[in-house]
Amino acid sequence: MATQTLSELMVEELKDLYSAETQLLAVLPKMAKKATSPQLQEAFTNHLKETEGQLKRLQKIAKLLNEDLGGKKCKAMEGLIKEGSEALEATGPEAVVDSGLIGASRRVEHYEIAAYCSTRAMAVALGNDEIADLLEETFNEEEAADGKLKSLGEDEIFPEAAQNDTEENMVESSSSK
């Protein structure tokens, strides 16, 4: 990919984001189904709806730029989803499995946050406020999704998963006596 201008680079980034969101759209229902925490299921289901809206925003941007955002594969998202498939295949205590889903999901969110932030900055530098505003809307949704996952993990699911460790240690201690 030889890009000569910031505009060309921004379009390449938008294509990458479009591919990333499309890939994520396919995996979010699986994550919602695998999650056992009702709050985590709801977070994944809500983010699925947001992702659909984010794709529509990207399509609106494509129309504004008169560009086709299809045809590019986001290798980063492909790798994050492949790595996250371990969480989808995991077995064990429910809270531990949910903890793995949160970790995989937060890695995806952090990738998206970084990508939307930098692409938005390009739009700002190019003076395209309408595109910058659309990208900022999605950026804010990604940050909120990450915050929700962080809170669910730290306040509910990780402490519950840690109880499994404590219970296991108690069993091991009593059986070694």
CATH number, domain of 82, equals: 1.20.1260.10
Contact by Cβ (8 Å): 30, 88: yes
Average pLDDT score, the chain: 92
8-state DSSP, 96 = H
Contact by Cβ (8 Å): 119, 62: no
Q: What was the pLDDT predicted at 176?
A: 53
Handedness of CA 31, 33, 35, 39 (dihedral sign): positive
171 in any annotated domain: no
Domain that holds residue 10: 6-161
Cα separation, 163 vs 39, in Å, equals 19
pLDDT 10s digits, 53-108:
999 999 999 999 999 999 999 999 999 999 989 999 999 999 999 999 999 999 99
Mean pLDDT of 143-165: 94
Contact by Cβ (8 Å): 101, 35: yes
Please, which residues have CB within 8 angstroms of residue 4's CB and are 6 or more apart in sequence? none
Q: What was the pLDDT predicted at 165?
A: 78
- Output the CA–CA distances (angstroms, integers) from residue 177 to 78, 87, 101, 171, in the order listed: 48, 35, 36, 10
**147 vs 167 pLDDT, higher one:** 147
Mean pLDDT of 28-43: 96
174 in any annotated domain: no
8-state DSSP, 37 = S
Question: Considering the entire predicted model, what is its pTM?
Answer: 0.89
176 in any annotated domain: no
150 in any annotated domain: yes
Contact by Cβ (8 Å): 107, 119: no
Query: What's the structural domain count of the chain?
Result: 1
Please, which residues have CB within 8 angstroms of residue 7's CB and are 6 or more apart in sequence? 126
pLDDT 10s digits, 108-133:
999 999 999 999 999 999 999 999 99
